Amino acid sequence: MPRVLVIDDSGEKLGEFLTEDALALARERGLDLVEVAPMARPPVCRITDFGKLKYEKKKRDAVARKHQAIVEIKEIKLRPKTDDHDFAVKERAARGFLEEGDKVKVTVRFRGREIAHKDIGEDQCKKFAEMLHDVSTVEQMPRMDGRQLSMLLAPTKKKG
């Protein structure tokens, strides 16, 4: 006969019982028998109100979700021939994303024969990272992925 360790609704150990006896004890008190540690030897069961237990877990999960930080990845697209003014506009946009706490993926897209000049794309990425060094750190160095070079910038943690 399988035996379980029973804990009552106030948290006190009642001892080991046969499963049927533990169920009868729970019914007698008008509560449910809930298995809380199935892998323990013997398994641990608690006499409690299952509906109340589910409600409290739902509330704890909601609070945990409310406090978790959601980090989005915003993308800034460049070309090897992106001019200084356009570069500055994209830098301002990236700075805003980083200050809000989002990560920024900088992508340099090569078209046609531009692919032969990957060094220009890497220079673009390094220049972009240097312009944003005060609000970001390079999380992923520039690397080729097909016809595009991408780099990931993460916001630096604010002190205070």
Domain map (residue ranges) of the chain: 3-67, 73-155
Predicted local confidence at residue 9, as pLDDT: 86
pLDDT digits (tens, 9 = 90+) for 92-116: 999 999 998 899 999 999 999 999 9
Mean pLDDT of 17-30: 92
pTM surpassing 0.85? Answer: no
**Is it the case that residue 86 has pLDDT exceeding 80?**
yes
Whether 85 shows a pLDDT value over 90: the answer reads yes
Name every residue whose Cβ is closer than 8 Å to that of residue 63 and which is 6 or more positions away in sequence.
none
Burial class (CB in 10 A: 0-12, 13-18, 19+), 153: buried
Whether pLDDT at 160 is above 80: no
Residue 77 has pLDDT above 80, yes or no: yes
The CATH classification of domain 73-155, taken from the options 3.40.1280.10, 3.40.50.80, 3.10.560.10, 3.30.110.10? 3.30.110.10
Distance, CA of 29 to CA of 47 (rounded, Å) = 9
The whole-number pLDDT of residue 10 equals 87
Average pLDDT, the chain: 91
pLDDT at residue 158 tops 90: no
Q: Are 158 and 148 in contact (CB under 8 A)?
A: no
Q: What number is the average pLDDT over the span 55-60? A: 93
Please tell me the CATH code under which domain 3-67 is placed.
3.10.20.80
What does the alpha-carbon distance between residue 129 and residue 149 come to, in Å, rounded to a whole number? 14
